[in-house]
Amino acid sequence: MMPKRPFRTVTPQGTEILIEPLAHVRSCSVGFWVRRGSCWERPAEEGLAHFIEHTVFKGTERYPNPQVMAEATDRLGGNVDAFTGKESACFYGKVLRDQLPALVDLLGELVTTPRFREDELARERQVILEEINQSEDQPDDWASELFYARFWAGGTLAHPILGTREQVAGYGPAQTLAFFRNTYRAPNLLIVAAGDLRPEPFLDLVRPILARLPEGAEPCAPRPNRPRAFLLNAPRRELQQVSLVMGFPAFPHQHPDRSALSLLSFVLGGGMASRLFMELREKQALCYQVGTYLSQYGDTGALQVGASCAPERARELVRRTVRECARLRREGIGADELERAKLQLRTSLVLNQESVSNRMFALAHQAIHMDRWRSLDEQVRDLERVDPAQVLRVAQAVLRPEAFGVSALGTGRTTGIRPRDLSDGL
């Protein structure tokens, strides 16, 4: 029996709507996605996408202030949240089915009728400035920001989603409203719902919201992002450990070798039996935890390694990381290693299907980042078709020492990573 495709429609104004009814649940998850994240900001607008994600909650036409908005959110009985990414922003919630109309109404208000009052913007500016401070106080987060800023220097992935203190401090109602009106338009909006709901009643709920959306949107695209190798030592005296983010250029979302890349990442650092975990933690006791993760976008990507260790052990950790990557690039992986990785990723795909929120997020991911919808069965088949030879080919394409980037936060004059540490591991 073929898996049933989600219901999909596109309004004449260009808003895409995806709905996946699930008969076995009694809850609903809804996301209003704006296909414009921080990558679409101009240099004078950095941080505005995130600034708007915060400030729409400070008052709309029907929910005029934070108190009324918070009370309406609590009355839903579920949860409402939002986030801003590099390529999109999302306002979402999960509720029982009888609260679905109220959830849709609230989310619709956020993306169509925010008030942007100066007094509320002033208060929220301080909140975001505290968020920036918090990010800098968390070594792993800040090491990652430093990595992005240099790995994609000159591209739109380089600037931080939160923006800078100087820019955020200057955003007022006029600039915020101008960015909102230019961005929150019908062709840029994607509405996704999954759970205990039916398409036609759901469409009836969103029609009043769609009628409020401005039509048309200026054609634009982020500046190209071209990865570059770098080595950064950033001293931080108050830290007891060095936070390391290392990475190689990788594939964008739609690359035909994406499944092999995911398996390569898992074998390298995705589990307790992964190459880096066994070598760096279990054998050498260089760190408490180490792992790999993929950051993929429309035009590029990165296979990254994250770890923390004592400053005097950072050089050895980097050398051994480079050495393991070189060995994987040279020798590839065994059939048993590949099968373990397939089982882990297949299990993750299946378990994600058991959450209505994850179903909603997965549908949105495919709509925003992929060229077409792929069922769970097709995604599993893509994984199962990967063989060791394909993983080796991908490893040789991705794990290139000349393209390696290293961000080290917390090193000192005698503990900094040196260029020869990168070559000594080969």
Q: Which amino acid is at 166?
A: E
Q: What is the phi-psi region of residue 59: left when phi exceeds 0, alpha when psi lies from -120 to 50, beta otherwise?
A: left
Looking at residue 1, its pLDDT comes to 44
Task: Give kind and range of the element (H or E) at residue 407.
Answer: strand 405-409
Is there a contact between 91 and 107 (Cβ–Cβ < 8 Å)? Answer: yes
Looking at residue 224, its pLDDT comes to 80
Distance CA 299, CA 227 (A): 11
Looking at residue 425, its pLDDT comes to 59
Looking at residue 3, its pLDDT comes to 59
| Encoded tokens for 240 | 């007891």
Is there a contact between 310 and 285 (Cβ–Cβ < 8 Å)? Answer: no
Looking at residue 371, its pLDDT comes to 86
Cα 368 from chain centroid (whole Å): 12
Neighbouring CB atoms inside 10 A of 175's CB total: 16
Q: Which amino acid is at 221?
A: A
Looking at residue 426, its pLDDT comes to 58
3-class SS of residue 417: coil
Q: Which residues contact 31 (CB under 8 A, 6 or more apart)?
A: 90, 91, 92, 190, 191, 192, 193, 360, 361, 364
Looking at residue 4, its pLDDT comes to 80
Looking at residue 214, its pLDDT comes to 94
3-class SS of residue 352: helix
DSSP alpha helix (H) spans, 44-172: 48-55, 66-75, 100-112, 118-137, 139-151, 165-170
pLDDT tens digits for range 29-50: 999 999 999 999 998 999 999 9
Of 360, 37, 80, 98, the residue nearest 220 (C-alpha): 37
Distance CA 307, CA 320 (A): 12
- What is the rounded radius of gyration, in angstroms, for the C-alpha atoms of the chain? 23
Low-confidence residues of the chain: pLDDT under 50:
1-2
Q: Which residue bears the tokens 């983010």? A: 245
| Encoded tokens for 116 | 């942007």
If you count DSSP H runs as helices and E runs as strands, how many of each does the chain have, helices first? Answer: 16, 11
DSSP alpha helix (H) spans, 138-257: 139-151, 165-170, 173-183, 199-212
